[in-house]
Amino acid sequence: MAILGIEAVVYGAKDLDTNFRFWRDFGLQPLADGPEEKVLACQNGARLVLRHHGDPRLPTAYAHQASVHESIWGVDTPAAFDTLVADLRRDREVTIDSDGVAHFIAEGGIPMGLKVWQPKPFVSCPDEVNAPGRIRRLNQHRKWRLACRPKCINHIVFFVPDYVAAYEFFRDRLGFRYTDHSRGIGIFVRADGAFEHHNIFFVSMDLPISPEKPGFMHLSFGLEDIDELMLGVQRMQQAGWQQDGYNTKYGLCRHRISSAIYYYHDIPSGGEAEYNVDTDYVDDNWIPRAWEFKFGSLLWATQVHELWQGPVEMDMQFDPDGASIAAVKAASARSCSC
């Protein structure tokens, strides 16, 4: 039984045409361009569905924001789908629509869906990287790219009231794996049938940059290499997309906690779209780690946000049994009992 990753993300957008143009320029392939719904896709078939904010088909859980309203996870077999749905129905409402999507509300108030899905095959072929004393590309020029084409949806990030409770739900009810813990800030987890460092990240509302209400933060798309990433950035700038949020404060960056190189774009419908390159890929042999937030979240950035100014403590410990998570949960319980 396995969840393979994100099959679709459904947006409630105030301006469908503007958002459709944004995602087309971002590199997604248009599939449908109707007046009430527009659909684009990555190379593996993962879809981005755009509907009007307020469309009755959208879940109401995040109705306060014109942004992501639902994320749908692909399940490998009908038997696995049936098992997951039956378990969810023990304590929550699950509805199955005519497209075979099982809709429910996950811990933390997050609207989710499950669907039987097989990703489309694709091949990444990044060029070898040369370095002094280590020649890997002899008498061979790097490929000349013409466009940025996102391969898949790597992960999605949500602000939640209790990130430990959200993690435990996904672990216990959906089979997700613990990858890393940014202590006091959030937990990175991956689906049991995926290899990305994380497919979802639950972020505490206590983070200084968090919004007033729980909801969507950003959506990350996997690319082949840094050349494809920067070609995408250049294309977005040439298309006139003005950036007023995260990337004006961060620019091009690399995480320490997942090794990924990344760049954010402000989405017209709210939140950020991330180009993601060279992330860690892991399986069940991975040993989770607990990190000091600032140390884990940033290795370098072309623009260092004020949150990371000053000295950062180099603090990381292996956490195979989730002791750091248990400590956060215990501290929260003590605080609530006072």
- Residue 73 makes CB contacts below 8 A (sequence gap 6+) with 3, 4, 5, 6, 7, 112, 113, 114, 115, 174, 191
Tokens of residue 161, six digits: 């009231």
Domain residue limits, the chain? 3-121+149-318
Closest to 238 (Cα-Cα) out of 83, 16, 26: 26
Tell whether the model's pLDDT for residue 288 goes beyond 80.
Answer: yes
Q: pLDDT tens for residues 125-154?
A: 999 999 999 999 999 999 999 999 999 999
Segment (H or E) for 171 = helix 163-174
Q: Is 85 left (phi over 0), alpha (psi -120 to 50) or beta?
A: alpha
Distance CA 56, CA 150 (A): 30
b/e for 11-26, b at 16 or more Cβ within 10 A? Answer: bbbeebeebbbbbebb
Looking at residue 249, its pLDDT comes to 62
Per-residue pLDDT of 73-112, as tens digits, reads 999 999 999 999 999 999 999 999 999 999 999 998 999 9
Superfamily of domain 3-121+149-318: 2,3-Dihydroxybiphenyl 1,2-Dioxygenase, domain 1 (3.10.180.10)
**Could you tell me the strand order of the sheet in which 102-106 lies?**
29-33, 37-41, 47-52, 3-13, 68-75, 110-116, 102-106, 95-96
The token duo for 249 is: 């404060």
Q: Encode pLDDT of 11-33 as tens digits.
A: 999 999 999 999 999 999 999 99
pLDDT in tens, 31-89: 999 999 999 999 999 999 999 999 999 988 777 778 899 999 999 999 999 999 999 99
Q: Report d(CA 31, CA 123) in Å as an integer.
A: 21
